[in-house]
Chain A
Amino acid sequence: MSSLPHQPSHVASRRSGGPHTSMFLRMLVRAAVLRRGRAASALLAMVVAAAVATAMLNLYADVEAKLRKEFRSYGANVVVMGKDGTALPSDALSRVRSTLGGETIAVPFAYIVARTRDGQSVVVAGTDLGLVRQLNRWWSVTAWPSENGAALVGTRAATLVSRAGKPFDLSFQGRTIHLTTGGILQTGAAEDSRIYLNLPAFEAWTGVEPSTIEIAVNGSTQEINATIPRLARQLSAAQVRPLRQIVEAEARVLGKTRAALLAAAALIILTSALCLLATLTGWVFDRRRDFAIMKALGASERLLNGFFAAEAAALGVIGALVGFVIGIGLAAWIGRVNFHASVGPRVSVLPVVLAGSVAVALLSATLPISLLRRVEPAIILRGE
């Protein structure tokens, strides 16, 4: 780098005959090639800033969806009940499913009070145990009953109805059913005092139809609140209501997490933008000799501004594109490590990152140029 490289004569002749634009491009490319150390460090700063910004924006956009999935393990957030404890119409469940789409978990429940052999009252619920298992993942169950005639018995009900897991009889309105203990359920709430059966067996025994449907609706508080009137129109004989305890707490925790992440993203993006600004300003300032020579050779103010602006813009675009790819990778990695699900790339982030990068690059080129413009080329070339 200590001396100018030797130029072969044919290159010189081609250069002199070349159009104006090719000279401009040549200056851009040679500037980067000859000072590749400095250009590389400026580009590196650009790439890192763009990558970090991309990763943070991607995470911020996707974190809500990812966390909502975790929050769905709290179970149902909307309940449909027959008015005054009456049974729901028999097509209620299929109507709920057709309104909300196939992926929503909706579980029917029917309840009765049965008598044990020694006359104690116990609540028996009929439901779809396979769906309950998906809906209420916090249920601690020793074994999910598979065969017909096996019941899921709450831990407190178990001590009442069946000593040491023996089969037991329950009676409801004179009809008796013989059940085995398929598994023991523990939740710490009302479920502990109940016995759960699969619906077909339950209905064959009691003739009682479901009076409650518990639904886990995906989506934000607004979406859930919008779902409720839609469901209510479909099911005029029932009352539909949100489980406020679940819905409100989720909105609260999500809101705070998003706000914390936003603050973090803002801080990180600001730091990397400032770092970028410092590096690029130094880079441009460092090239004051080039600036002075061009000016001394008669380059117009417009050309000089255009040259440095084009250089900065090129750096910004290349840095943003490379950084975008790396940032997507970073966000995907964070998603995989933390949520065990990939954070999908969001193309909508690209224009933001691109515009931001070019803007910071242009800003950092403009600052030193406007300082240098006032200085005579001779002074710069003398090294003062």
Chain B
Amino acid sequence: MFLRLVYESFRRQKRRKVLAGVAITLGVAVATAMIAVATDIGDKINRELRSYGANLVVTPQEDTLDVEIGGVNLKPPSDGAFLNEADLPKIRGTFWAHNITGFAPMLPVTTKVNSSTHGRDVTLLGTYFSKELKLGKEDFVTGVRATNPWWKVQGGWPDDNSLEVLVGERLASSLQLQPGDQIALAGQSHRVGGILSTGGAEDDEVVAPLGVAQQILGKPGSVRRIYVSALTKPEDALARRDPKTMNPETYDRWYCSPYVESIAYQLEEAIPHSHAQQIRQVAQNEGTVLSRIQGLMLLVTLAALFASALAVSAAMATAIFERRGEVGLMKALGGGSASIAALFFTEAVFLAALGGTAGYFVGVALAHQIGQTIFNSKITIQPVLFPIILAIAVAVTFLGSAAAIRRAVLLDPVFALRGEA
């Protein structure tokens, strides 16, 4: 009998059930989308923050002091220690390799540049543009195009295995160079692939594939420093501790958290005779910006949850209020308050389960749409969200109907049937 009542209620009152179901679906969809976006926005903004450039730098351990003003190196270039280019792919073998979005080696050398009309001393910076590297079976591509997205090239980016170079825009205008021109570097002829604009010291420099710089310096396979761009977790008390003073358990936790400190530590392990440290301007500030944005989205998500909980409750209350005549009839026929309440609650839970499931999938689609339009990448949705969302939907529907059900059940059937409630 009870089941038949529930079944008939759904069969005969399709319009009302659909309306309430739509309200629940909508509320749950908004809640799902907001939770999904809020939990993933940290990762998305973290990736956007990588456009500030590398947050880690690896230098040789026994390095001499840089003598550099405004990006111009005043030290004999062959001075100091070097890292080995062959060690570079090992960066992809470290524990947090998947958090490393890119790296670029740098080898500055001072050389003589001769165009058809002028000649002068310049800094030539050897680097990877987008170099294909191999570690074991894994292929990957990295270089300044990934780590320094603010570098703009008029013309074309040179191939990493070619002899083409980029010329900084101020240098190019003083030497009157265009893409496609020929220049002589250390006596050898190179084609200018493009004009580089960075807003930094590189505007006065020549940027070339690493091999060209190594050849001019006469030190094949050497690298001066490596810039590494990594997704990191904002620094906290644990991050700042010295790994040497930790007990094994804390050390494991530190080592397995993507702090900029622990990634630096792992880079030192991977590259022999190296010293890795954070670039504080980038690394320190991204934590603040990230936590502010995450906090903002979290609070906004709370507001969204509140609004959708209210929407669901209001819809349920209205739906039950409209049925007080039915309640009066059941009571007049001898239905007990408990069994009538049970009937309504069963209906509510059933509606919540249906609407919640539909809402979850609509919400997932919505989150994907938001991720695609704003961040051009997929929002990852934890599968564990589904039971949580469903539980919340059932709880909210239950609580939202409770007051209305109570009122409907307490009503005198005479008034209810006369329509005077």
Contact = CB atoms under 8 A, between A and B. Distances in A.
A245 B53 contact: yes
A136 B322 CA distance: 64
Contact of B278 (A56, A73, A121, A188): A188
Contacts of B289: 67, 70-71, 253
A55 B400 CA distance: 24
Nearest to A278: B315
A187 B280 contact: yes
A72 to B, nearest CB: 10
Contact of A272 (B44, B283, B310): B310
Ranked nearest first, the 6 interchain pairs of A and B with the lowest CB-CB distance are A244-B199, A275-B311, A282-B318, A138-B284, A193-B66, A338-B295
A260 B279 contact: no
Interface residues of A, number: 77
Interface in A246-260: 246-249, 252-253, 256-257, 259-260
Nearest to A275: B311
B279 A187 contact: yes
Interface string B31-68: 00110010001001100110111001100000101111
A74 B296 CA distance: 20
Contacts of A1: 420-421
B26 interface: yes
Interface string A118-153: 001111000000000000101110000000000000
Interface in B6-51: 19, 23, 26-27, 30, 33-34, 37, 41, 44-45, 48-49, 51
B315 A260 contact: no
A249 B52 contact: yes
Contacts of B69: 85, 111, 113, 123
Nearest to A244: B199
Interface in A279-311: 279, 282, 286, 289
Given A156-B63, A339-B292, 8 more contacts: A156-B66, A189-B57, A190-B66, A249-B48, A252-B48, A268-B303, A278-B314, A330-B303
User: For the side of the interface on B, what is the size category?
Assistant: 35 or more
A139 B283 CA distance: 11
B65 A122 contact: yes
A121 B74 CA distance: 9
Given A45-B314, A138-B281, A267 B30 contact: yes
B403 to A, nearest CB: 10
Contacts of B52: 74, 245-246, 249
Q: Tell which of B51, B283, B301, B318 has the most Cβ of chain A within 10 Å.
A: B318
B157 to A, nearest CB: 17
A190 B68 contact: yes
B328 to A, nearest CB: 12
A260 B50 CA distance: 18
Contact of B23 (A55, A212, A278, A289): A278
Interface of A: 1-2, 41, 45, 48-49, 52, 55-56, 59, 63, 66-67, 70-71, 73-75, 81, 85, 111, 113, 120-123, 136, 138-140, 156-157, 160, 186-190, 193, 212, 241-249, 252-253, 256-257, 259-261, 263-265, 267-268, 270-272, 274-275, 278-279, 282, 286, 289, 330, 334, 337-339, 383
Contacts of A156: 63, 65-66
B19 A121 contact: no
Contacts of B63: 156
A256 B67 contact: no
B45 A253 contact: yes
Contacts of A45: 310, 314
Given A122-B67, A267-B34, A282-B318, A244 B150 contact: yes
Contacts of A139: 280
Contacts of B140: none
Given A73-B285, A253-B49, A121 B67 contact: yes
Given A67-B289, A140-B280, A256-B375, A264 B300 contact: yes
Given A241-B199, A243-B199, A264-B37, A271 B279 contact: no
